[in-house]
Structure 1
Amino acid sequence: METIYDFAVRFWGIWLMIVFVGIVAWAYWPGRKGEMEERGKIPFREDDGPNGAGNGVGHGH
C-alpha cells in the first residue's frame, strides 16, 4: 500500500494536468460547439414558469 501512495504523491502534478487537459478537450471538442453555445444562452432566455416574465419577478419591475 505504501508503494501506491508513494507513486501517487510523486506524480500528482502529472495526474492533475491530465485531468485538466481532458476537461478542456471535452469542453472545446468541435462536435460539442452547438451544445455549448446553447448552454451559453441559458442566462439570457425569457422564463415562462411561475417566476418568469409573466409576473415581473427578476426583471426590474
Structure 2
Amino acid sequence: METYTAMRHFADSWGLLAMAIFFVGVVLFTLRPSAKGMAKDAAEIPLKED
C-alpha cells in the first residue's frame, strides 16, 4: 500500500473520530458547573479599571 493512501485512510477513519472526541471534550469542559465563575471573571475583564 502506498504511504499516501495509508495516511489518507487513517485520517479519514481515526482522524475524524479523534477530532470529534476532542470537540465533545472541549464543549463538555466549558459547560461544566465550576466554569461559570471563570467565564464571569473573563467577561468582566474589559470593564475593570487598573
TM-score normalised by L of structure 2: 0.64
Mapping of residues 33-44 of structure 1, within 5 Å: 33-44=36-47
How many pairs does the alignment contain?
Answer: 45
Q: Distance in 1 between matches of 2:46 and 2:16?
A: 35
Which structure shows the bigger proportion of residues in helix conformation? 2
1:9-56 deviation per Cα after TM superposition (whole angstroms, max 9, x unaligned): 52111110110111111111012111111111112211x2xxxxxxxx
Q: What is the TM-score normalised by the length of structure 1?
A: 0.55
2:33 corresponds to which letter in structure 1?
Answer: P
**Which protein has the larger Cα radius of gyration, Structure 1 or Structure 2?**
1
Partner residue of 2:16? 13
Tell me the CA shift for residue 8 of structure 1: 5.2
